[in-house]
């Protein structure tokens, strides 16, 4: 009888945070660089989902001029802390001008910080959609090296290729020769590649 209706108003704090974010996004959309910079930092303390809030701010950056847009995004990346970087990389498939972001995505894949690597490689549509074959193969191999769950690499089955099969088979043999365990799923991905 007292159960909240599915249409009950959202928690006031959440509503307040959403209003804050909407205001900031509106300022960012006018090209206000200071608003973008400050809100991007404040998102960690003023929003319950900092990662989503930061992606929303990026999506509000005026994008009519692709190179100016890219310069603004590059500056956010260059000055980002770890959580901020992770959010920026997670948003890659949702940004405009996706084709301009290949080099940036490759930087994330080469990162020595596992959370940054995972933000690009796992649960992210960008690599399968936009990576050339070689960087994609390197990313998949690195994911196995880092013990990531290959099922979280989106679109992997569709991008399976003989080159990847060769790299993963070599890795499989190397592990066996050293008497070390074969990562879960490695054989499955090799099989996808060999079916081609």
Partner 1 sequence: MHFIDPHIHMSARTTDDYEALAAAGVVAVIEPAFWLGQPRTSVGSFQDYYASLVGWERFRAAQFGICHYCTIGLNSKEANDDALAEQVMELLPLFAAKDGVVAIGEIGFDDQTPAEEKYFRAQLELAKRVELPVMIHTPHRDKQAGTLRSMAICLEHGLRPDQVIVDHNNEETVQAVLDQGFWAAFTLYPKTKMGSERMVEVVRRYGQQRIIVDSSADWGVSDPLAVPKTARLMLARGIDSAQVTATCYGNALAAYGQSGQFNEADWLSPTAIDQRQLFEGNSVLRGQQPLIS
Q: Which stretch binds partner 1 (CB under 8 A): 54-62, 74-82, 90-98, 173-181?
A: 74-82
Q: How far is the CB of 124 from partner 1 (least distance, A)?
A: 21
When the beta carbons of 102 and 142 are compared against partner 1, the nearer one is 142
Residue 149 tokens read as: 């769950």
Q: How far is the CB of 58 from partner 1 (least distance, A)?
A: 14
> Does residue number 41 form part of the binding site for partner 1 (CB under 8 A)?
yes
> Does residue number 40 form part of the binding site for partner 1 (CB under 8 A)?
yes
Q: Which stretch binds partner 1 (CB under 8 A): 13-21, 72-80, 117-125, 150-158?
A: 72-80
Q: Which residue has the tokens 């400050």?
A: 38
What backbone torsions phi and psi does residue 38 show, to the nearest 5 degrees?
-70, -45
Q: How far is the CB of 108 from partner 1 (least distance, A)?
A: 13
> Does residue number 71 form part of the binding site for partner 1 (CB under 8 A)?
no
Distance CA 65, CA 49 (A): 29
Distance CA 139, CA 190 (A): 15
Residue 147 tokens read as: 């013990």
When the beta carbons of 26 and 82 are compared against partner 1, the nearer one is 82
Taking Cα atoms as reference points, which of 104, 148, 156 lies closest to residue 129?
A: 156
Q: Which residue has the tokens 């900092």?
A: 50
Distance CA 9, CA 19 (A): 14
Which of residues 34, 103, 181, 195 is near partner 1 by CB under 8 A?
Answer: 34
Which of residues 38, 71, 182, 187 is near partner 1 by CB under 8 A?
Answer: 38
Residues 117/146, Cβ–Cβ less than 8 Å: yes
Calculate the CA dihedral of residues 143, 163, 99, 152 and round it to 10 degrees.
-30
Q: How far is the CB of 78 from partner 1 (least distance, A)?
A: 7
Residue 173 tokens read as: 């043999």
| Site residues (vs partner 1, CB under 8 A) | 33-34, 37-42, 44-45, 75-76, 78-79, 81-82, 112-113
């Amino acid at each position: 009888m007292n159960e909240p209706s599915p249409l009950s108003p959202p928690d006031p704090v959440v509503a307040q945070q959403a209003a804050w974010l909407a205001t900031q996004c509106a300022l960012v959309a006018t090209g206000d660089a200071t608003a973008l910079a400050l809100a991007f930092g404040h998102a960690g303390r003023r929003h319950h989902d900092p990662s989503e809030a930061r992606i929303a701010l990026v999506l509000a950056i005026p994008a009519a001029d692709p190179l100016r847009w890219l310069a603004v995004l590059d500056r956010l990346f260059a000055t980002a802390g770890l959580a901020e970087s992770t959010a920026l990389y997670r948003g890659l498939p949702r940004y405009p001008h996706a084709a301009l972001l290949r080099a940036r995505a490759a930087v994330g894949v080469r990162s020595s910080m596992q959370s940054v690597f995972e933000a690009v490689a796992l649960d992210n549509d960008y690599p399968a959609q936009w990576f050339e074959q070689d960087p994609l193969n390197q990313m998949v191999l690195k994911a196995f090296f880092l013990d990531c769950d290959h099922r979280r690499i989106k679109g992997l089955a569709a991008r399976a290729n003989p080159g990847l099969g060769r790299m993963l088979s070599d890795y499989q043999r190397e592990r066996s020769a050293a008497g070390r365990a074969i990562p879960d799923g490695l054989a499955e991905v090799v099989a996808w590649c060999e079916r081609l």
